[in-house]
Amino acid sequence: MNDYEKQGLYVHIPFCKKKCRYCSFYSITSSFSPSSYLDSLFIHFCYLKDRFSFSPVFSTLYFGGGTPSLLDLNFFEEFFVKLNKNADISDLKEVTLEVNPETVNPHYFKGLKGIGINRISIGVQSFDDNILKVMGRIHNSNTAKKSVEQALNEFENVSIDLIIGVKGQEGKRAEEFFDFSLLNGVKHVSVYMLEGEKNRGIAMDDDITANIYTDIVQFLKENGFFQYEISNFSKKGFESKHNKLYWHGNNYLGIGTMAHSFILNEKRLNGIRFYDNTDYFTFINRKFLIGEQRIEYEDLVAEMFMLMLRMNAGVDVSVFEERFGINPIDYFSEILNEFRGYFIMDSRSVRLNLNGMLISNEIFEKILFFNGKIRKKEKDG
Amino acid sequence: MSKELIRNFSIIAHIDHGKSTLADRILEKTQAVEKRDMKEQILDDMDLERERGITIKAHAVTVKYQAKDGKEYTFNLIDTPGHVDFSYEVSRSLKACEGAILVVDASQGVEAQTLANAYLAVDNDLEILPVLNKIDLPAADPDKVLEQIEHVIGLDTEHAVLVSAKTGVGVDEVLEKIIEVFPPPEGDENNPTAALIFDSWYDPYRGVVILTRVFDGRIYPKMKMKFMATGKVYEVDEVGIFTPKMKKTKELKAGDVGYVIAGIKNIQDTKIGDTITEDGKECKEPLPGFQEMKPVVFSSFFPTENTQYDDLRDAMEKLKLNDAAFVFEPETSDALGFGFRCGFLGLLHMEIIQERLEREYNLDLISTAPSVEYKITRTNGEVVYVSNPSKMPEAQYIQKIEEPVVDATIVTKSDFVGPILQLCTERRGIQKRLEYLSQERVLIEYELPLNEIVIDFYDRLKSVSRGYASFDYSIAGMRESNLVKLDILVNGEIVDALSVIVHKDKAYYRAQALTRKMKELIPRQMFEVAIQAAIGRRVIARTTVKALRKNVLAKCYGGDITRKRKLLEKQKEGKKRMKAVGKVKIPQEAFLAILKVNEDQK
C-alpha cells in the first residue's frame, strides 16, 4: 500500500467540563450520555460509510475533543468491540487519545494502554499558572506536570500541547515555556500560536509572538525535537501519523457531531469533504445533517499544495505530479516568484522557510484563489 | 373660489420637534388621508428620508377644511426640507407661503434650527404661528418655552397654541388659528403670470414635475410658459394639486399651489427659485430672491474597482436627473485612477448621495475627505477658485487665499459652554454672540471657517456636549486665511487624493494626528510602509507600518480545512475593498482618516 492510500478515523468526543476561551471546537458541558453517544457514533459511521462508499480500513485512530478523557474506560472498550465489527483495523498503527490533565490518574492511563491506546496527547497548554488562568483552563501547572509524568509511566509516545502568544508571555525565553524534567520523556510537542484576530483580549502582540515562536523552534531543535509542521515537533520517528494524513491529502473519516471527513477520488482527481452539522442532542437522536463540499480538480490541486506546504518536508514534486498530474512548481510559479524569499526550492521539492510559515496565510490565500487555468488529465485504470 | 378662502403655509421646526407628526394630524383632520391609510409621516416618501427622519425634498398638499365659521377653506401645506444643507430650498418653499407654523418642543425649548428657520420665515415676511408640541410630556414647560420664543426670537406669542400632535390635543385649534392668523394670498389672476418654482423632480414616466406657487395670473394646459432665469419655453401639458395623490385640475391661478408638467426632460431647466411666466406676455420682473444653487462641499468619488467607472458615471447621471444641486466632473488621480470630483450643498447632501450610490446602485466607492472652495489670488493677480486640494497652486505662486466662512448658531446647556467655546476656538472661530436663554440654556453664535465644519465638527460638538447641543449655520462670505496644503506620502509617493488644506498654525498637529491615524488604518503588508506628511518638500511628520510578520493558522487538522478556506476567503474579500496605490493596499477608511482624527489625543 502506498503511504497516501492509508486512511484515518477521527472520533469526536464533544464533552467538556468547561469551555476554554480560545477554543473553536464543538463541545457541551452538561447533561451528556456517553452510552447514547457511543451508539449514535456507529450508526453515524455506517451511515457515512454507505452514503459515501468509504472503505473501512484504517491505519490510524484519533479520539479528539472536547475532552475524550472525561469518558470511562469501558466507553473505549465498547468502542473497540463495535469498531472491530464494523471496520478492518488489523493494520492499526497509531491510536491517539487527547486528555485533559485534570481528568486523568495512573489507573486510567494503565487502563487506556490495556485497551489499545498507544499515543497520549495531553492538553497542557502552559506550565504557568497565570497563563492557564487567563486562558480559562480548569487545571494548574502542577496537575499538568503530574499528568505528563503519569502518562510517561505507561506510554512511550506522549505528546504535549502548548499555546503561545497569550498576554503575559512577553519577554519570556523559549525554555521558560517548557518543564525541563519532562522534555526527555516526551516524544512530541505541538506549539500553537494563539490567533490574534479572534482573541483580541488575551492575545499578545503579533511581532512578539513571532519572535518567541522562532526561538522555540530553535530551542526544541537543540533538545532533539524536529519541526515537521508549522505547529508540530517530534523526536525522530514520533511524528503523528494520523495528523500527517490531513496534510498529505489522505482519506479520513470523521464520526461524531461536527466531525469532518475527506475522500479523494484518485481516479477522477476530485475530492469530497463532508461534515456533520448536528448538535449533540440531535445527534444522539440519530438524526444527521450532512454538509457536503465537492472539490473539483483545480481547487484540489490548490488545496493539496497548500496543505503539504504546512510541512517542513514540503511538496515532493514527483509525488505530487504522479498523484495529481501536474508539476506544482511550474503551475504555481507566479506565486513562488512573488514570495520567493519565503520558499526553499529546487527541482525536486518546494517548502516554506520559517518566515514563510509565519506569514503562510498570505501565501495560502494566493494559492487557494489562484486562477491558472489547468485541464484535468484523466488517469488510466 | 375666492382667494379669501385660501391659506398657504409651511411647518417649520427643529429636528424631532414633531413637524411631520403635526402635518400628519392636519392631513387626518382634514380627511385628506383616511386614518387607516396613514403611514407614519406620510409626506416623507423616500426611503432615506424616512430612515433618517429628515425631509429632503419639498412637498405640497392641498386639503379642504370645514371651518367653525361655516366656510370651506383650502389649505396648501408645504413641507420644507429639514436640514441646513437645503436652506435655499427651505427659503424658496417659505417664499411660496403667507404663513409658517413654528413647532417647538415644549419640553426642549428653542433649538438652533428653531432660530434659523424662524429667521428665514421672518426674512420672507411670513406671519408666524408658534405651536408648542409634546405638551403631554411630563417635562413639558410651556410657559418657559413661550418666554424663550418671545425673548430670543422676538415673536409675539399671543396666538400660540399648545398641542400634542401625538394625541391630537390642540390640533383643532391650530386649524382655526391658521385661518385667523395667516392672511389669504394676494395677487390678481388677470395680471401677467408670475409663479415661483419651489421644487422640482424628475419622474421617469412624466418628465420633470414642478412644484409652484402662482402669485399672479394663471397656468393652464397648452399655455406657453417661460422660465425667466433660463429663458426656456415649454408648452404646459397638465396642471394639478396633490391631495396628496396627484389630481389634475383645469388651471392654477393666483394664490394656488400645485404642480405643472410640461414634458421637460432636463431638471436643470427648472431651477428652484426661478419664475414661470407666459411666453409673449411676460410679467414685468421675476419674483425676487432667485439664486443659482452653488455647491459648497466637495469630495472625489472613485470606484474601488476600476471596472466600475462607467457604472458610477451612469448612476451619478441618474441621481443628477433628480437633484439639480449635485454637480460632478471627471477627475483623474495619480493614486486612485479615474473618478469624479463632486460638489454638494453640504455634508448631509454628500452623505445621502454617497449612500444612494452604494446602496441603490451597489457600487464600492472610495471618497476623499470633504473640502470647500477656496478663492486664490495668484502672485500675478489672477483669481482662481480651487475646491480640490491636489489642484492647489504651489505656495510661491499664491498671493493670498480666502476661505468660505459660516455664521454658526449653537444652542446648548450651560454645563457645556466651556468645552464648546474651546472647540470653536480650536476651529478658528470668532465669537459673535453668547446669550443665556434661561438659567440652563445658552445660545452661542460664532463665525467659523467652513473647512473646519466639514472636518468632523458636528461629531465633535456632539461629543463635547454629550449630545445636548443643536447646531445650524449659514454661509457668510469669504475670509482671508493663512492656509497651506498638507500632502501625504506613502512609501515616498504623494497620494494626491489624501492632500488636505489646513491652517498653517495647525499643520504640524494635523500632520501628526493624520499619519498616526493612517498607521492604524493601513493594515500591515508584506513590506514596510512609510507614511509621511509634508508641506511642499518639507516632511513634518512620519510613521511606519511595519512589515507583516505573522499571519498563520496554527491548527489545521481535518475539521479546520473548511474553516481555513472561509478564513482565507474573508481575507481575500477584505483586500478587494482596498485600493492599491503602487504596491501598497490602502483601505477605504484611510482616505477619510482626517475625519477620524480624534483631537482629544493631543
Across A17-31, A239-253, B583-597, the highest mean pLDDT is recorded for: A239-253
B239 touches B202 (CB < 8 A):
no
Residues of A in contact with B567 (CB under 8 A): 361
Give the three cell numbers for residue A115. Answer: 485497551
- Give the whole-angstrom CA distance, residue B345 versus residue B121: 21
A206-230 as b/e: b if 16+ CB within 10 A: bebbbbbbbbbbebbeebebebbbb
Distance of CA B142 to the CA centre of its chain: 30
Q: What angle do CA A147, A149, A152 make, to 5 degrees?
A: 110
With CB atoms and an 8 Å threshold, state whether B558 touches A206: no
pLDDT of residue A380: 43
pLDDT digits (tens, 9 = 90+) for A324-347: 999 999 999 999 999 999 999 998
Cross-chain residue pair B559–A193, CB shorter than 8 Å: no
Give the Cα separation of A156 and B78 in Å (integer).
88
Nearest residue to A175 (alpha-carbon basis) of A207, A122, A222? A222
What is the C-alpha to C-alpha distance for residues B327 and B304, in angstroms, rounded to an integer? 21
Name the minimum distance, in Å, from the CA of B528 to any CA of chain A.
14
Q: Which residues of B touch A361 (CB under 8 A)?
A: 551-553, 567-568, 571
CA angle B592, B596, B600 (to 5 degrees): 155
Find the closest chain A residue to B563 by CA distance: A24
**The three cell numbers locating residue A276:** 456533520
Do residues B146 and B130 lie in contact, with contact meaning Cβ atoms separated by under 8 Å? yes
> DSSP label at A331?
H
Which helix (DSSP H) or strand (DSSP E) does residue A80 occupy?
helix A73-86
Q: Best mutation site among A260, A272, A276, A307 for testing chain B: the one with the most B CBs within 10 Å?
A: A260
Task: Report how far apart the first and last C-alpha atoms of chain B are (Å, whole number).
Answer: 67
Q: What string of DSSP letters covers A266-310?
A: TTTTEEEEEEE---HHHHHTT---EEEEEE-HHHHHHHHHHHHHT
CA of B29 vs chain A CAs: smallest distance (Å): 57
> Model's pTM, two decimal places?
0.72
Give the model's pLDDT for residue B188.
93
pLDDT on residue B1: 64
Phi, psi (degrees; rounded to nearest 5) at A379: -85, 150
Q: How far does Cα B516 stand from its chain's mean position?
A: 31
Mapping DSSP onto H, E and C, the string for B49-107 reads HHHHCCCCCCEEEEEEEECCCCCEEEEEEEECCCCHHHHHHHHHHHHCCCEEEEEEECC
Cell numbers linked to B419: 468645552
**Mean pLDDT over residues A277-294, rounded?**
91
Question: A127-147: buried (b, 16+ CB within 10 Å) or exposed (e) per residue?
Answer: bbeebbebbebebbbebbbbb
DSSP element (H, E) containing B9? strand B6-13
pLDDT greater than 90 at residue A39: yes
Nearest CA in chain A to B547: A207
Report the C-alpha gap between A140 and B446 in whole angstroms. Answer: 64
Q: Count other C-beta atoms under 10 Å from residue A381's C-beta.
A: 4
Q: Which of B575, B496, B582, B593 is nearest to B305 (CA)?
A: B575
Cell numbers found for residue B444: 452661542
Instruction: Pull the grid cell for residue B331.
Output: 477627475
- Is B38 in CB contact (< 8 Å) with chain A? no
> Apex CA A24: angle with CA A20 and CA A26, to 5°?
90
Q: Alpha-carbon torsion A163, A165, A167, A171, what sign?
A: positive
- Quote the cell numbers at residue A113: 494502554
The mean of the pLDDT values for chain A is: 92
CB contact under 8 Å between A231 and B561, yes or no, is no
Q: Report pLDDT for B29.
A: 85
C-alpha cell at A301: 490541486
**Cα gap A368→A320, rounded to integer Å:** 16
Query: What span, in angstroms and rounded, lies between the C-alpha atoms of B262 and B291?
Result: 23
Q: Among residues A183, B406, A171, A152, which one has the least CA distance to residue A162?
A: A183
What is d(CA B276, CA B194) in angstroms, rounded to the nearest whole number?
6
Q: Which helix (H) or strand (E) holds B234?
A: strand B233-235
Dihedral sign of CA atoms B390, B396, B397, B399 in order: positive
DSSP helix/strand/coil, B133: strand
The per-residue pLDDT for A374 is 67
Of A246, A273, A361, the CB nearest to B553: A361
| Other CB atoms within 10 Å distance of the CB of residue B47 | 11
pLDDT in tens, A123-159: 999 999 999 988 888 889 999 999 999 999 999 999 9
Inter-chain residue contact B559 with A192, CB threshold 8 Å? no
Distance, CA of B547 to CA of A362 (rounded, Å): 12
| Pairwise CA distance, residues A355 & A342, whole Å | 6
Question: Measured in whole angstroms, how far is the alpha carbon of residue B460 from the centre of its chain?
Answer: 18
Q: How far apart are CA A358 and CA A217, in angstroms?
A: 12
DSSP per-residue string spanning B172-189: HHHHHHHHHHSPPP---T
- Distance from the B331 Cα atom to the nearest Cα atom in chain A, whole angstroms: 33
Note the pLDDT of residue B244. Answer: 78
d(CA A75, CA A256): 14
Q: What is the DSSP letter of B381?
A: S
Is A206–B550 a contact, with Cβ atoms under 8 angstroms apart? Answer: yes
Whether chain A has a CB inside 8 Å of the CB on B546: the answer is yes
Cα-based distances in Å from A197 to A8, A46, A364, B443: 31, 39, 17, 47
- ipTM score of complex: 0.92
Contact yes or no for B544/B527 (Cβ under 8 A): no
Burial class of residue B271 (count of CB atoms within 10 Å of its CB; 0-12, 13-18, 19+): buried
- CB of B580 within 8 Å of a chain A CB? The answer is no
Query: pLDDT value at position A29?
Result: 83
How is residue A2 annotated by DSSP?
A: -
SS3 B297: strand
- B247: cell is 389630481
φ and ψ at residue A211, rounded to 5 degrees: -65, -45
CA distance B207 to B265: 5
Residue recorded with cell 391650530 = B174
Please give the helix or strand (H or E) that residue B430 lies within, else none: strand B430-436
| Distance (Å, whole) CA B126 – CA A108 | 92
Q: Is the pLDDT of residue A52 over 80?
A: yes
Q: Does B526 contact chain A (CB < 8 Å)?
A: yes
Nearest-by-Cβ selection for A193 from B548, B554, B558 = B554
In one-letter notation, the amino acid at residue B27 is: L
**Closest Cα to residue B453, out of B423, B432, B497, B481?**
B423
Report chain B residues whose CB lies below 8 A from the CB of A247. 556
Query: Does the beta carbon of B70 lie under 8 angstroms from any beta carbon of chain A?
Result: no
CB contact under 8 A, B568 and A368: yes
- Spans in chain B with pLDDT lower than 50: 36, 38, 40-44, 46, 48-50, 52-56, 600-602
Cα–Cα distance for residue pair A40/A35, rounded to 1 Å: 9
* Residues on A contacting B at a C-beta cutoff of 8 Å: 10, 12, 24-25, 64, 192-196, 206-207, 209-210, 213, 230-231, 243, 246-247, 252, 254, 258-262, 273, 275, 293, 303, 307, 310, 339, 357-362, 364-365, 368-369
| Rounded-to-integer distance, Cα B124 and Cα B74, Å | 22
How distant is the alpha carbon of residue A224 from its chain centre? 21
How far is it, in rounded angstroms, from Cα B388 to Cα B400?
A: 17
Averaged pLDDT, A80-97? 96
For chain B, give percent helix, strand, coil, nearest 5.
Answer: 30, 35, 35
Closest alpha carbon to A202 in A132, A100, A127:
A132
DSSP string over A198-258: TTTTTBPPHHHHHHHHHHHHHHHHHTT-EEEETTEEESTT-S-HHHHHHHHT--EEEESTT
Closest in B546, B552, B558 to A359, CB measured: B552
Question: How far does the CA of residue A155 sit from the closest CA of chain B (Å)?
Answer: 24
Put residue B474 in one of left, alpha, beta given phi > 0 → left and psi -120 to 50 → alpha: beta
Q: Tell me: the pLDDT tens digits for B403-436? A: 999 999 999 989 999 999 999 999 999 999 999 9
**Does the pLDDT value for residue A319 go beyond 90?**
yes
- The residue-averaged pLDDT of A71-82 equals 96
Contact B562 A260 (CB under 8 A): yes
A-to-B residue pairs, Cβ atoms closer than 8 angstroms = 92
Helix (H, G, I), strand (E, B) or coil at B510: helix
Q: Is the pLDDT of residue A113 over 70?
A: yes
Q: Measured between beta carbons, which residues in chain A are less than 8 angstroms from residue B556?
A: 230, 246-247, 307, 310
What is the predicted pLDDT for the residue at A381? 36
Cα B344 versus chain centre, distance: 8
